[in-house]
Amino acid sequence: MAVAAAAATAVAGMLALAGATAGADSFTPVTLTITIAPVARFHKPLRIAVAVTADAGVLDTRTTPLRIQVKLATECGGVYSYTPGTVLLDQELHPQPNTGQPYSARATGSGRPASYGVQTVCAFLDQGGSYDLQFATDTSNEVDVSRPCTARAGRYDAAIRALARAERRLRDTHTRTARARPLRLVRKRKASARADRRAARKACGPGVPL
């Protein structure tokens, strides 16, 4: 997996699936650490986690609760509301910052990508309500919603369903003679499922749930 960090004043750093925690400092007073797989399946859950850290007092200007909002989009807008795409995360942070204190929080979510291709993870840390005040953004992370991954993983899903049907048939067969054929079918389905899983893992990588 790729691990990258982007640093700018009040702009988030990013870490991919195997990312490590990053703290805020005088050069990056607010930091977002994003954990997400670089490859995803079409219309299947794509999980994301965002850790927020901030120096003492940096978030004191907020007048409403902080929210972390993330979309998967072909192009990020300047703010969350003007970014069309799949919602991955839209949550009020807990806990909220205490005035004059350093801050850290973490939020998790998921969404189902609605189109194929390489897309950008557009993350925004802002206050909720009618007054827009944006404290940090990150657009440095990309996800490939992959056709090969989707196809191979779909075949594995079908193989698992076929194996489950074969196992039910075997459980419902009670005589030794009658069980011979269902048992052979179960062994065949298991071998197919293992092969399809290997192919799916090769196409999708380790971060995609199968």
Give the chain's residues under pLDDT 50: 1-26
The CATH number of domain 30-145, selected from 2.60.40.10, 2.60.120.260, 3.10.310.30, 3.40.50.300? 2.60.40.10
Q: Give the residues across from 109 on adjacent strands.
A: 48
Quote the pLDDT of residue 129: 64
Q: Write down the residue that tokens 């827009």 correspond to.
A: 132
Quote the pLDDT of residue 199: 97
Quote the pLDDT of residue 174: 87
CB 190 within 8 A of CB 164: no
Q: Write down the residue that tokens 């293992």 correspond to.
A: 194
Nearest to 55 by CA among 93, 29, 22: 29
- In angstroms, the Cα distances linking 16 to 3, 19, 20, 85, 142 are 5, 5, 9, 20, 9
Quote the pLDDT of residue 176: 84
Quote the pLDDT of residue 9: 30
CB 100 within 8 A of CB 118: no
Domain ranges of the chain: 30-145, 148-204
Quote the pLDDT of residue 46: 97
3-state secondary structure the chain: CCCCCCCECCECCCCCCCCCCCCCCCCCCEEEEEEECCEECCCCCEEEEEEEEECCCCCCCCCCCEEEEEEEECCCCCCHHHCCCEEEEEEECCCCCCCCCCEEEEEEEEECCCCCEEEEEEEEEEECCCCCCEEEEEEEEEEEECHHHHHHHHHHHHHHHHHHHHHHHHHCCCCHHHHHHHHHHHHHHHHHHHHHHHHHHHHHCCCCCC
Calpha distance 188→182 (Å, rounded): 10
Calpha distance 35→97 (Å, rounded): 22
Sheet holding 66-73, edge to edge: 39-40, 134-145, 117-127, 66-73, 86-92
